[in-house]
Amino acid sequence: MTTDPDWTRAATWLARHDADPALEVLGLPTSSASISPSEAWRTPAAVRGVLARFSTFDGERGIDLEELPVRDLGDLDLARLPTAEALTAIDAAVAGLATDPVHVFLGGDNVVTAPIVAAHPAAPIERFGVLTFDAHHDVRAYDEVPSNGAPIRWLLDHGLPGDQVVQIGIHGHANGAGYRRYCDEQGIRVVTVAEVERRGIEVVVDEALDDLAARTDAVHVDLDIDVLDRSFVPGCPGARPGGLTPRQLTAAAHRCGAHPAVRSLDLVEVDAAADVAELTVMNLAAVFLAVATGVATRR
């Protein structure tokens, strides 16, 4: 690709490794916990590659990410590890992170949400709020080790209060009735795609973030890309028709990045090996950049 001094590539920005970052990025290339066969471990590298096709300048919001200090911490070596060992490695890495930067974790499958929240130094698990964007509740039963369909249940089993979880984008015909009953019993707030359409994504997200911020010490945001309509994300094994649009999700991601209570976010459930014309990976990259533009407004 040619170099243009007036068109800075997002990949160049991410590779700067600034000394005092406001945003840190860590890749968590896991797929051993996936219920559906997946090569999601390939996705962090694919996202970094496709960022070369995006500019740092958000022309809609007038924000240039060149002004946001960033550090890419690379990837943990997880791809060949069994799930239990991968979770232990993530736990140790997250616990050792600095508390000041906002952290974005590039997955990988959705199991990574569990150790991120459990180990993050911003707050103990019982004082975290969790906001998910997901087609699914992620409260499947599990044995000793959770699957990518169980991180929320695992967190509740390990001390996260259910009423400190809000789930946005839940689809029709993507969850069992028993799992919805479990969510209701635990006090999880469920926002369906239909409610998002009625009330607007900005209203729903702002309400959820403000509510969680008022009752917790820190908020983690789980951005499961299969919350998007299947037509936009062919590389998401769990995506179904009837999901959110990319513009809805990027608007939500920007607001999450901007909210001071949000200390960490994960972007998960993309299988780069199953993608078509890089459509899914590019949507994930757009969501990541929307988060970053939100973080930039905090400064």
**pLDDT tens digits for range 242-298:** 999 999 999 999 999 999 999 999 999 999 999 999 999 999 999 999 999 999 999
Specify the pairing of strand 189-192 against strand 218-224. Answer: unpaired
Q: Where are the domains of the chain?
A: 10-296
Cβ atoms of 29 and 79 closer than 8 Å: yes
Q: Choose which CATH entry (3.40.50.2300, 1.10.1200.10, 3.40.462.10, 3.40.800.10) describes domain 10-296.
A: 3.40.800.10
What's the gap between Cα 234 and its chain centre?
18
Q: Helix or strand or coil: residue 107?
A: strand
Average pLDDT over residues 87-106: 97
Cβ atoms of 266 and 223 closer than 8 Å: yes
Residues 122-164: pLDDT tens digits? 999 999 999 999 999 999 999 989 989 999 999 999 999 999 9
State the pLDDT at residue 1.
Answer: 62
State the pLDDT at residue 135.
Answer: 97
pLDDT exceeds 80 at position 8: yes
Answer left, alpha or beta for residue 162, where phi above 0 means left and psi between -120 and 50 means alpha.
alpha
Q: Please, what sign has the CA dihedral across residues 274, 49, 243, 90?
A: positive
pLDDT exceeds 80 at position 38: yes
Cβ atoms of 204 and 196 closer than 8 Å: yes
State the pLDDT at residue 299.
Answer: 74
State the pLDDT at residue 150.
Answer: 95
pLDDT exceeds 90 at position 3: no
State the pLDDT at residue 34.
Answer: 84
Higher local confidence (pLDDT), 34 or 101:
101
State the pLDDT at residue 5.
Answer: 83
Residues 182-204: pLDDT tens digits? 999 999 999 999 999 999 999 99
Can you spell out the DSSP letters for 109-150? Answer: SGGGHHHHHHH-TTS-GGGEEEEEE-SS------SSS--TT-
Q: Is the whole-model pTM more than 0.85?
A: yes
Residues 49-84: pLDDT tens digits? 999 999 999 999 999 999 999 999 999 999 989 999
State the pLDDT at residue 2.
Answer: 66
